Amino acid sequence: MERRLIQAVGDALAEEMRRDPKVIVYGEDVELSITGDMRGLHETFGHDRVRNTPICEATLTGMAVGLASAGYRVVVHMMFSNFFYTGMDAIGNQMSKLRLMTGGQVELPITIIAGYGGGAANAAQHSDSAYPMLMNLGGINVLTPSTSADAKGLLKTAIRGRNPSFFLEPSGRGGDLGEIPDGDHLVPLGVAAIRRVGADATVVAIGRMVKPALSAAESLAEQGVSAEVIDPRTLVPFDDAAVLASVEKTGHLVVVDEARECCGAASQIAAVVAEKGFSSLKGPVRRVTTPNVAIPYAPNAEARVLPDAERITAAVLALVGHDRVPA
């Protein structure tokens, strides 16, 4: 079945809610579903299970901890990842820590859904890719699907899981149509997908960056460079092995991340490879990321800071230039 990413999210929610009456969804404006990914759920499952809340992110994240402690599977929609900052206390001090702090007594099956990233002139307060701070907390899964199938399969896995997970969808686009396997489609966390097989360089591309990475690979192929494109699908847990195996083959690594460079996901992945895959590397690793700036409103300025196929292509070419002379 072909579905857009936000439809896949809606499908996953509906299936999991049907499967388990303990799944509860709440958030600001989830009933009409401003982002579209929850369209129809309120009508189907009613007020007890799909509920609009007041605007109070600090309480929404804290309440998730309490509701999960009371035995529910909690799904919270937070609209934009910038609003994680507003609800950060319970994320940083409770959700990510309580399981250890209680000596393992507590289980927190919480799934937070939010859009992230730029590209729509939403300006700085609605365009952050605010997952690196989540990755640094420990104790929280971070999911960044790039296809409809993964969106559905990862979200279902998260909702059924027993740990807090953040599910990040590219903001406000709905995504391209994508084929979704029939039946109870689950995607395990921590297993990367190889989106394109290649021999000359490994391109790890996160979430919305998979698409420009694939088009970069396309144009690299025309120039005789064979890029392998890996979509980690989840940043926590992270599939080190897949990336290391690819770099062992190619000798080169480019990480493409829409989050800012400093302490971003690309830094983490670069560090892992520089630590564990050093002997495979034939040249420097490259991060293609958003620089350390707030996202500007003007589309030309925004386009300048967000990674795109051109920058990815250039980064790969700069690397493979190290060990090959162009044909």
Partner 1 sequence: MTTETEDRAPNAREVTEPSTEELLSLYERMLLVRRTEERLRDDSAAGRLPGAVHLYIGEEAVAVGVCAHLSDRDYATSTHRGHGHFLAKGGDLNAMMAEIWAKDEGICRGMGGSMHVADLSKGILGANGIVGAGLAIATGAAFGAKLDGDGKVSVCFFGDGAANQGVLMENLNVSTLWGLPLVFVCENNTFSEFTPSREVTAGSIADRARAFSMPTVEVDGNDVVAVWRAAGEAVDRARSGGGPSFLEAHTYRIQGHFEAEAFVLSGGRYREDGEIAAWREKDPIARLGAKLLSTGVAGDEVLADIEARVAGRVEDAVRFAEAGSPADPELAEALMFVRGEA
The catalytic residue among 126, 185, 252, 322 is 126
- The only residue of 52, 136, 223, 321 in contact with a copy of itself, by rule CB under 8 A: 136
Element (H, E) at 169: strand 165-170
C-beta of 50 vs 189, nearer to a copy of itself: 189
Tokens of 221: 């192929």
Our finding on whether 271 is near partner 1 (CB under 8 A) is no
Nearest distance from residue 173's CB to a copy of itself, in Å?
Answer: 22
Kindly indicate which of the ranges 83-91, 105-113, 193-201, 210-218 contains the residues binding a copy of itself, using the contact rule CB under 8 A: 83-91
Q: Summarize as ranges the residues that interact with ligand TPP (CB under 6 A).
A: 28, 55, 57, 79, 83, 86
The closest of 35, 12, 307 to 170, measured between CA atoms, is 35
Helix axes 210-222, 309-320, angle to 10 degrees: 50
List 288's β-bridge partners, or say none. 256
Our finding on whether 124 is near partner 1 (CB under 8 A) is yes
Which residue minimizes CB distance to ligand TPP? 86
The pattern of x and - marking residues 234 through 253 that bind a copy of itself according to CB under 8 A reads --x-----------------
Kindly indicate which of the ranges 21-29, 206-214, 225-233, 263-271 contains the residues binding partner 1, using the contact rule CB under 8 A: 21-29
Report the alpha-carbon distance of residue 130 to residue 150 in Å, rounded: 20
**270 CB contacts (<8 Å, ≥6 apart)?**
253, 255, 285, 287
Report the alpha-carbon distance of residue 214 to residue 226 in Å, rounded: 11
Report the alpha-carbon distance of residue 78 to residue 114 in Å, rounded: 5
Our finding on whether 268 is near partner 1 (CB under 8 A) is no
Our finding on whether 158 is near a copy of itself (CB under 8 A) is no
Our finding on whether 144 is near a copy of itself (CB under 8 A) is no
Our finding on whether 274 is near partner 1 (CB under 8 A) is no
Nearest distance from residue 67's CB to partner 1, in Å?
Answer: 4
Residues 159-188 that bind partner 1 (CB under 8 A): 160-163, 165, 188
Nearest distance from residue 92's CB to ligand TPP, in Å?
Answer: 11
- The only residue of 32, 55, 241, 274 in contact with a copy of itself, by rule CB under 8 A: 274
Chain centroid to Cα 125, Å, comes to 19
Which listed option, partner 1, ligand TPP, a copy of itself, none, makes contact with residue 14 (CB within 5 to 8 Å by class)?
none
**168 CB contacts (<8 Å, ≥6 apart)?**
81, 114, 115, 116, 129, 131, 142, 143, 144, 207
Our finding on whether 197 is near a copy of itself (CB under 8 A) is no
> Where do we find the tokens 């895959």?
277
Nearest distance from residue 226's CB to partner 1, in Å?
Answer: 32
Report the alpha-carbon distance of residue 143 to residue 236 in Å, rounded: 7
Report the alpha-carbon distance of residue 188 to residue 158 in Å, rounded: 9
> Where do we find the tokens 């480019």?
254
Active site residue 322: no
Pairing of strands 110-116, 141-143: unpaired
**13 CB contacts (<8 Å, ≥6 apart)?**
23, 25, 37, 38, 41, 75, 155, 159
Site residues, a copy of itself (CB under 8 A): 57-58, 82, 84-86, 88-89, 91-93, 96-97, 100-101, 123-125, 128, 130, 132-133, 135-139, 236, 259-260, 262-268, 270-271, 273-276, 278-279, 281, 283-287, 291-294, 296-297
Catalytic residues, which ones? 126
